[in-house]
Structures are given as C-alpha cells and as structure tokens.
Amino acid sequence: MQASIQKIATYLSFLVLSVVVASVGGWATSTSVETWYATLQKPSFNPPSWLFGPVWSILYLLIAISAGMICQNKFHPLRNKAIFIYLLQLILNLAWSFLFFYFQQLLWAFIEILLLGMMIGVTIILFYRINRIASYLLIPYFLWVSFASLLNFFLFWLNR
C-alpha cells in the first residue's frame, strides 16, 4: 500500500511540475501571441494557433509519465543523472517561451531550441538505458521540438 502511494505521488509530482512549466510558458506566450506574433510573416507550413495547446498538453502528459517511470527505478546507477538532464531540458523548454514570445528574440530562441532538442535527445538515450517505454514516450516530444526548431528558423529568416 505504501509503495502504491509513493508511486502515485511520484507521478503526480511530475505532472504538477509539467503543469507549472506549461502555465508559466503559456503566460510568456500570451504576452505577445495575439499582438507581435500575429504580425510575423509565417512559412506555409505554420500550424494553426489552436493546434499548439492540445499538442503541448499531450506532450507534457507524456513527459510527466516518462519521468515518473524513470523515478521508479530507485537503484539504477543512471537514474539521478537522467532526472537531472530531464529537469535541465524542462528548464530549456520553459526558457524558449520567454526568448521567443516574451523577449521576441527569434535568433536566440532558435539557438536555444537547438540546445533543447539536443538535451531531449540525451534524455531519451539515458531513459532508454533505464526504461525503454519511458524513452519511447519522449519521441513525440523530440519530433515536435524538431518541427518547432524548423518553424523557429523560418520565422527568424522571414522576419529578419
């Protein structure tokens, strides 16, 4: 019974962390999405604005579940390193929203999102060594951030 409560608490902790990151990032985004962002020239493959919320909601849920799965491996030698890298990429995820939307720095946001993508890749590799399913849950996140990187680049290029 105690183990089940701890397991639920672990998953809930990562879910709350994801909700906090999503909320703060959403706030940063809201500062200019209706104004500055709306005026940018966008590439033909730019998704409609309504798509971002549902996609990120699903991704943050998968990210939280993935980290919760890794935390269940208390004695794995890579666990702490994997969680540290996970937290680092989550901070980079949040920083991108501020660089792009709040500070409106398209080039710096592009550079930062490339670093974010690399850190997600490292997270996937570390998670794979601990729990393959946890690593697979991060693949949609990696793919979406890769697409967002391409989009960020074109937004920079079209609006320089």
Say how many residues make up the chain: 160
Q: What is the pLDDT of residue 91?
A: 98
Q: What is the pLDDT of residue 105?
A: 98
CATH architecture for residues 2-158 = Up-down Bundle (1.20)
- Burial (CB < 10 A; 0-12, 13-18, 19+), residue 60, is buried
pLDDT tens digits, 47-101 = 999 999 999 999 999 999 999 999 999 999 999 999 999 999 999 999 999 999 9
Q: What is the pLDDT of residue 144?
A: 98
Domain boundaries, the chain: 2-158
Q: What is the pLDDT of residue 3?
A: 78
pLDDT tens digits, 8-52 = 999 999 999 999 999 999 999 999 999 999 999 999 999 999 999
pLDDT class for 1, splitting at 50, 70, 90?
confident
In the predicted structure, residue 126 carries a pLDDT above the cut 80: yes
